[in-house]
Amino acid sequence: MPAKIRLQRKGKKGRPFFHIVIADGRAPRDGRLIEKIGTYDPMTNPATIELDFDKALNWIQVGAQPTDTARAILSYKGVLYKEHLLRGVKKGALTEDKVEILFKEWLADKEAKIEAKAKGLTDTSREEAKKLLAAEVDKNEARKAEFAKQKAEAQAALEAELAAKAAEAAAAAAPAEEAASEEAPAEESKEEAAE
């Protein structure tokens, strides 16, 4: 069975972290390995990949078969592209200098794309944070306005209640004053009669 380039899972539950390893195809996933050539952290955005490029290229050239995920990682890092170019050198279609020029151009283009994605993600996260902050400010202003409205309504209701109680008190006091004023002349007339 040929050697395989595959991922060996590490990390905690829910937080995967992988080692990129060379292992015998018959060995279990997290079992015995021949050589560790890198790491892969899928929890970051973009994913963090550290790879010993020369070792990976050497293993590909001697016939190690990558798994699907490992193939995607090797393609992303350019190992498979460089191996493709080096096969062209063996066939006589390309020269070593041409291979280096083509690979450097590809690598520069790839790094520019990765940098643009990372910058776009930070810009997007900043914009989202600004939108969330603006929404929170609007929400707080709406709450303040609602609270002020409720406070004004409560104040108006309290003033209306006080005015109604004052009117009741005034209405209750008015008949009492009339009765008192009617009694006062009657008393005066009794006093006058007594004299």
Q: In 68-194, which residue ranges form alpha helices assigned H by DSSP?
A: 68-77, 79-91, 96-194
Give me the mean pLDDT over the 170-176 stretch.
Answer: 74
- State how beta strands 35-41 and 15-24 pair: antiparallel
User: How confident is the model at residue 167, as a pLDDT?
Assistant: 83
- State how beta strands 15-24 and 3-12 pair: antiparallel
Element (H, E) at 5: strand 3-12
Would you say residue 159 has pLDDT above 60? yes
Would you say residue 101 has pLDDT above 70? yes
Please write the tens of the pLDDT for every residue from 14-51.
999 999 999 998 888 888 889 999 999 999 888 899 99
Would you say residue 191 has pLDDT above 60? no
Question: Given this structure, which CATH class describes domain 3-94?
Answer: alpha beta
Long-range contact set of residues 47-51: C-beta below 8 Å, sequence gap at least 24? 49/73, 49/76, 49/77, 51/20, 51/77, 51/79
DSSP state of 1: -
Whole-prediction pTM: 0.60
Q: Is 55 in contact with 36 (CB distance < 8 Å)?
A: no
User: How confident is the model at residue 17, as a pLDDT?
Assistant: 94
Rounded to whole angstroms, the Cα distance separating 53 from 77 reads 8
